[in-house]
Amino acid sequence: MLKLVYIFTDGSCLGNPGPGGYSVLLCYKKHKKFLNAGFYLTTNNRMELMGTIIALESLKQSCEVHIATDSQYVKKGIENWIYKWKKYGWKNKKKQPIKNIDLWIRLYKTLKPHQIHWKWIKGHSNHMENIICDKLARLSANNPSFKDTGYRKITSII
């Protein structure tokens, strides 16, 4: 039986592009863990993707994962677009490389071991975990530490 993990993510950008940050809340049984980071120059969509990627990369074993995001870009991308992009060499309908290809490929690689359920939640709608993640993502954007959204080692929750 797979461990059941709930993940809440958010991304923020002060200007687009501009300084940005992501935040993640991982919940397993009674355990909660926050992950966050800020970047000097990025976009909102990159930060939304990074939150999801970092959350999934932090899981050390296969899990049943319920991910809540307020990003339509991430949810539609993962449920509708990503498999078509992969099939056509990570290109869009115009045969151009998709935006944020590095992060979409990285996200795609994180999906395999898990049974994932995606949920879109409306941002700024009194959803407690989303409010917390939003505040932490904005705090991270206001305190950037990284030059780009490249890989950095993180600790595991599971």
Q: Which pLDDT tens digit goes with each residue over 95-118?
A: 999 999 999 999 999 999 999 999
User: In what order do the strands lie in the sheet containing 3-13?
Assistant: 31-42, 18-28, 3-13, 63-69, 115-120
CA–CA–CA angle 24, 41, 123 (5° rounding): 40
pLDDT value for 148: 66
Dist. CA 65–CA 103, nearest whole Å: 19
pLDDT at residue number 149: 53
At 48-100, the pLDDT tens digits run 999 999 999 999 999 999 999 999 999 999 999 999 999 999 998 899 999 99
Write the pLDDT tens digit of every residue in 3-12. Answer: 999 999 999 9
Question: At CA 35, angle to CA 32 and CA 41, rounded to 5?
Answer: 160
Q: Indicate the pairing of strand 63-69 with strand 115-120.
A: parallel
Task: Please answer whether residues 22 and 50 qualify as being in contact, where contact means their C-beta atoms are separated by less than 8 angstroms.
Answer: yes
Q: What are phi and psi of 87, to 5 degrees?
A: -60, -35
Which pLDDT belongs to residue 85? 94
The CATH code of domain 3-142 reads 3.30.420.10
Q: 157 vs 6, 33, 62, CA distance in Å? A: 11, 7, 12
Virtual torsion, Cα 80, 2, 132, 40, nearest 10 deg:
-60
Domain boundaries, the chain: 3-142
Please indicate, yes or no, whether the overall pTM of this predicted structure exceeds 0.75. Answer: yes
Rounded Cα distance between 98 and 74, Å, is 13
pLDDT at 152: 44
pLDDT tens sequence across 121-156: 988 788 899 999 999 999 999 999 987 655 444 444
**Helix (H) or strand (E) segment spanning residue 106:** helix 101-111
Residues tagged active-site: 10-11, 48, 70, 124, 134
